[in-house]
Structure 1
Amino acid sequence: MEIDLRHLRLVTAVAEHGSVTRAASALGMAQPALTAQLNRIDAALGGSVFVRDRRGARPTPLGDLVLRHARVLLPAMDAFAEDVRRHVAGRDDAVTSLRVGTVATVLGGIFLNRLRADLPGVALTSFTAWSADEAARRLASGALDLALVGACENEVLPTDGDVVWSRLFTDPVFVLLADDHWLADHDVVPLGELAHEYWLSAPGEGCFERCFVAACVRSGFTPREVSETERAAAIEQVRGGHAVGLVQPLLLDAPGVRPVALEGEPLSWTQYVGWRRDAVDRLDVDAVRRAALDAHAEAVHRTPAYERYLAAGVDPAVVDRATGAAS
């Protein structure tokens, strides 16, 4: 068997996800089929590309060599294929398709809807990442053309692979409380009043948990426990009184729970849109930024409680950021 681009994509996917199981799910393959392909790749190369055990899949020295070449070859071939498609279509100066990455939030769906409306004739395919770092890796490798991601306000996003990030807006992080929580009737609560709670946050490998713990330390305590869970499971646990959640206040309206602002806004979340620098000459960057800003404005308007919070002027700087005044 000869190694081709398809095999390099499989190896890259396993390296990105750190697990054959997760890579198979992302690729839409059965795990045994991916395992069989990896075994054939190992046989063709004459050595193992990954160490595979209970902890996942980690590249061997041979695997690192394969990945170094894959990160050069795959983006080059993707660019070649895109150029050929545009040439055959007689539209060398136009984008006919975009691969868009978003982090698992409701804002991502609105952003994709806005892009489809603002870029008619452009076919969009989407990928959901669990963190900004994962989306950045896919941008750098050429697997994505655009990405909408979030990070703590002062976090520096990776720019490997000549990735460019444009800052869009910043929202404060709220705490999600059960309706019968003793602080649920407050409009704003000090973070220190929640020192003895169990905490829930969205899954991901980014900066959020680190930034949250730092905010707690500044408030005079160390959190008892921070668990990761997806949005629906977090709401259910908060509703049951077993934990409190860290949430973006957008599009959050569920019975039995209430998002409440944290005093002084000790934690905030900034959204960025990113692309590879070599895509600027074929992307309408201004249209992409407008789509992201319009998506956020729509999400704010569809969240009356948060819209009232911004209108109340609790922190004018946040109002400016949340309406897209920052760049």
Structure 2
Amino acid sequence: MQLELRHLVAVCRIAEAGSLGRAARRLGVSQPSLSAQLRRIERVTGGELFTRSRYGMEPTPLGRLVLATAGRVLSEMDALGTHARAVPAGAPLRLGCILLVLLDTLLERTDLFLPGREVTVDLEHSVTALSRGLGGGRYDAIVYGEVNDHEVPLPDGALARTLIAGEPFAVRLPEDHPLAARDAVDLADLAGESWMTLIEDDDGGPEALVEACARAGFAPALRYRIADRRMSYEMVARGRAVSLSQPGAPAAPGTVVRPLAGSPVTGRIRLAWHRAALPAHEAELLFAAAARAYEATVDNHPFHRAWWDAHPELHPV
């Protein structure tokens, strides 16, 4: 693992908050997730960055060195973001996304709703990196997901709208799986499976899965973290794992997507933009394009269409 800006942000928030719990709340992640991230950072830096005392988390000498460097780097990135906002008229709209199913059709919709406006799209595997890129001037707007109650902290100057609320997650199974013939799958029946997640799931997904499985009476075996969506489909097809799936995810050879009974895991899809970079009318048009892109996915699976038709109150306005 290499250190990234989001790792520096995490270290700074721990130092500012004085505890992992308070820092996790400020970052919008769970405390176990932040604790695991800190251990990975410490492996890269070569030693402990904090010690626990009666006053909370205090930086070690190595921690103070890392914090001083992090402060300079983040300050310079913020300054760079300020300069990056001064883009010439007619410059491309810079859009950042995570791996959402609507991404496949989003560019077509932006061509319709923003004709003549060049749009560039970068795909990130980390929601934290997207948010940081929005604040630092790399992106004018971002499209991202949040799972269950997880909330992604946004930078100053950012505005956001919820595109889809309460989307029920499904499960992707091998087509010859004993549960593949069911109309819906009980999470408890997946207790013995190996699970796959994306390599950087900081949208609350792994935590939501663990909590849902705990309510179903088991702890999931999170064996694989893979960045490539096509590779993850191939591993499911070979029977190596099962995975959470957006309900509009495309069909893939050798796999099926089935809804989870009772919708134990739900998600939100959101659009955020920096008000200094994107005029309000363009933000409205981008929102409309994203809404149409999502609607294009609802017929990928009959159960998704049924959910969509049954919940008009959740449709984007």
Normalising by structure 2, what TM-score?
A: 0.74
Instruction: Compare CA radii of gyration and give the structure with the larger one.
Output: 1
Q: For residues 196 and 308 of structure 1, what CA distance do their matches in structure 2 show?
A: 30
Quote how far apart the aligned CAs of 1:114 are: 1.2
| 2:101 and 2:250 in contact (8 A); partners too | no
| 1:250 and 1:306 in contact (8 A); partners too | no
The corresponding residue for 2:135 is 140
The corresponding residue for 2:285 is 287
The corresponding residue for 1:219 is 216
Aligned ranges 1:39-188 → 2 under 5 Å: 55=44, 60-80=66-86, 82=87, 85-86=88-89, 96-170=91-165, 171-188=167-184
The corresponding residue for 1:201 is 197
Q: For residues 306 and 203 of structure 1, what CA distance do their matches in structure 2 show?
A: 28
2:232 is paired with a residue whose SS is helix
Aligned ranges 1:254-265 → 2 under 5 Å: 254-265=252-263
Q: Which structure is higher in RCO with an 8 Å CA cutoff and minimum separation 6?
A: 2
Q: For residues 291 and 231 of structure 1, what CA distance do their matches in structure 2 show?
A: 23
Equivalent position amino acid for 1:176 in 2: R
Identity %: 25
Q: For residues 221 and 277 of structure 1, what CA distance do their matches in structure 2 show?
A: 45
| 2:193 and 2:241 in contact (8 A); partners too | yes
Quote how far apart the aligned CAs of 1:197 are: 0.8
1:55 is paired with a residue whose SS is helix
Q: For residues 204 and 65 of structure 1, what CA distance do their matches in structure 2 show?
A: 24
Q: For residues 153 and 224 of structure 1, what CA distance do their matches in structure 2 show?
A: 20
| 1:141 and 1:161 in contact (8 A); partners too | no
**Correspondence 1:15 to 2:4:** yes
- Kindly report the root-mean-square deviation, in angstroms, between the aligned alpha carbons of the 2 structures: 2.8
Encode CA deviations 1:253-303: one digit per residue, 9 max, x unaligned. 1222111110000011211000113335465221111011000011223x1
Quote how far apart the aligned CAs of 1:65 are: 3.7
| 2:96 and 2:139 in contact (8 A); partners too | yes
Quote how far apart the aligned CAs of 1:249 are: 2.4
2:272 is paired with a residue whose SS is strand
Over 3 Å counting, the alpha-carbon distance change for 1:191 and 1:60 in structure 2 is same
Equivalent position amino acid for 1:70 in 2: E
2:4 is paired with a residue whose SS is helix
Q: For residues 240 and 53 of structure 1, what CA distance do their matches in structure 2 show?
A: 36
Q: For residues 201 and 215 of structure 2, what CA distance do their matches in structure 1 show?
A: 23
Over 3 Å counting, the alpha-carbon distance change for 1:253 and 1:68 in structure 2 is closer
Equivalent position amino acid for 1:310 in 2: W
* Further displaced range: 211-220 or 162-171: 162-171
1:279 is paired with a residue whose SS is coil
Normalising by structure 1, what TM-score?
A: 0.72
Quote how far apart the aligned CAs of 1:14 are: 6.3
Over 3 Å counting, the alpha-carbon distance change for 1:278 and 1:105 in structure 2 is same
Q: For residues 208 and 293 of structure 2, what CA distance do their matches in structure 1 show?
A: 26
The corresponding residue for 1:9 is none
Give unmatched runs, 5+ long, in structure 1: 1-12, 20-51, 87-94
Quote how far apart the aligned CAs of 1:180 are: 1.6
The corresponding residue for 1:276 is 274
| 1:136 and 1:163 in contact (8 A); partners too | no
Q: Find 1:252's aligned residue among 250, 253, 278.
A: 250
**Correspondence 1:210 to 2:202:** no
Quote how far apart the aligned CAs of 1:252 are: 1.9
Over 3 Å counting, the alpha-carbon distance change for 1:153 and 1:262 in structure 2 is same
| 1:164 and 1:277 in contact (8 A); partners too | yes
